[in-house]
Amino acid sequence: MTDVTNAPARSDPRTRRNVAVLVGAQAILGSQMPMLFVVGGLVGNTLTPNPCLATLPISMIVFGSMTTAPWISPLMQRQGRRNGFIIGALAGALGAAIAGYGLYIGSFLMLLLGSYVSGIYMSAQGFYRFAAADGASEQFRPKAISYVMAGGLMSAIIGPQLNKLMFDFSVIPFLGSYVAIVVLNLVGLFLFFLLDLPNAAALAAAKTNDAVRSKLELLKTPRVAVAIICGMVSYALMNLVMTSTPLAVMGCGFEADSANDIVSAHVLAMFVPSFFTGHLINRFGVEKIVATGLVILGLAGVVALTGVTLANFFIALILLGLGWNFGFIGATTMLASAHTVSERGVVQGLNDSIVFGCVTLASLASGGLMNCSGGSAVEGWNAVNIAMIPFLTLAGGALIWLSLRPKQSV
């Protein structure tokens, strides 16, 4: 089979328009993710009867994303991306409203329910990058993915700063953040009406006669398997460390505003490199960029283990964001070239289910490691960062194995 996902270069002007819209969506709607990841652990810490479950609200967001991917990806394949993105935005508003109500009445279970519904938005947002690749030429595809991810640059600024403004909006701490997230979703969803994407009928007509491989066959395809492993490890480790960061920062005696600033720096580092990641992939090859990302993730853990000053937190989280960018965008680009257009819905849904399944486990483990693996915040923070080692070894080994195999077409 040949790679039929490559569209001719003349489709790139249309792709550029869609990329611009998706960048805006990433900036506006994406702002809710750093907000949720900061307040989720802090609110969970105040409502849960067990400190080991403080990060469970964040885990429920990721779990919601994992369980959404298997149905929202085929839905987009049948009915178009726009419908899936609108569903995601509405779910983001509903989830924040439920979680905010849970905070208002002091219900940890209601907070978890709202967090799960918010995960539907997180899943839909994950497909922005795939929508950017739809119809793009092979040369422009990694750049399109990178530019959409770069929209997170604005979300890195808007989200944490909006959190700061809304912390004291209500007499109930953090309730204002959930109100702001509802507004972001309801306003941001109108962006999707500006997309010029193929409708479901056009997508069906574009399909080839290529057979669609089963999920098991796809997972046995070396390039697909390695792309999923590297994406899974990059995202899960980023989540593992970032989820614990607000708890670690405040546990080491710093203020909540410092936690917001550190998360903001981290999210900036996640998305600023996206302006040139696609160019680097075209120049050096996707495997080298993914490998570089894994190395940088390892360096983040080393810096975190050397101390708990604000400088250590800032540097470690900046490296964590940069490593995620190279690792995850590289893995996404690798996956986009490893299947046919007929397999798109199956592969992308399978990928995000596995990736966010592991991210769910990472966020669950994060709270347990942080609060229940030692007698102090420092010991818990060290345990979180040491836990990165075996997974980096797995992804690095898989990448080396792939590089030693002969190149194969899709």
Task: In whole angstroms, give the CA distance from residue 311 to residue 303.
Answer: 10
Query: For residue 8, is it within any domain?
Result: no
Please give the structure tokens belonging to residue 262.
Answer: 């550190």
Shared domain for 174 and 220, answered yes or no, is no
- Here the CATH number for the domain that contains residue 72 is 1.20.1250.20
Shared domain for 179 and 258, answered yes or no, is no
Query: For residue 269, is it within any domain?
Result: yes
Shared domain for 125 and 163, answered yes or no, is yes
Segment of 124-133, 149-158, 172-181 carrying the highest mean pLDDT? 172-181
Residue 29, C-beta contacts closer than 8 angstroms, at least 6 positions apart: 89, 92, 121, 125, 184, 185, 188, 189, 191
Cα angle 62, 66, 68 (rounded to 5 degrees) comes to: 115
Shared domain for 135 and 230, answered yes or no, is no
Shared domain for 57 and 143, answered yes or no, is yes
Question: Last residue of some domain: 201, 236, 266?
Answer: 201
Segments forming the whole domain that contains residue 267: 214-404
Shared domain for 184 and 305, answered yes or no, is no
Shared domain for 182 and 218, answered yes or no, is no
Task: In whole angstroms, give the CA distance from residue 309 to residue 303.
Answer: 11
Shared domain for 236 and 181, answered yes or no, is no
pLDDT at 361 over 70: yes
Shared domain for 220 and 176, answered yes or no, is no
Query: For residue 410, is it within any domain?
Result: no
Please give the structure tokens belonging to residue 22.
Answer: 């998706």
pLDDT in tens, 367-388: 788 877 777 889 999 999 999 9
Shared domain for 239 and 358, answered yes or no, is yes
Shared domain for 106 and 252, answered yes or no, is no
Look at 38 and 340; give whichever has higher pLDDT.
Answer: 38
Question: Last residue of some domain: 139, 166, 201?
Answer: 201
Please state which of the ranges 108-117, 229-238, 372-381 shows the lowest mean pLDDT: 372-381
* Domain count along the chain: 2
Residue 409, C-beta contacts closer than 8 angstroms, at least 6 positions apart: 1, 2, 3
pLDDT in tens, 134-146: 766 777 777 777 7
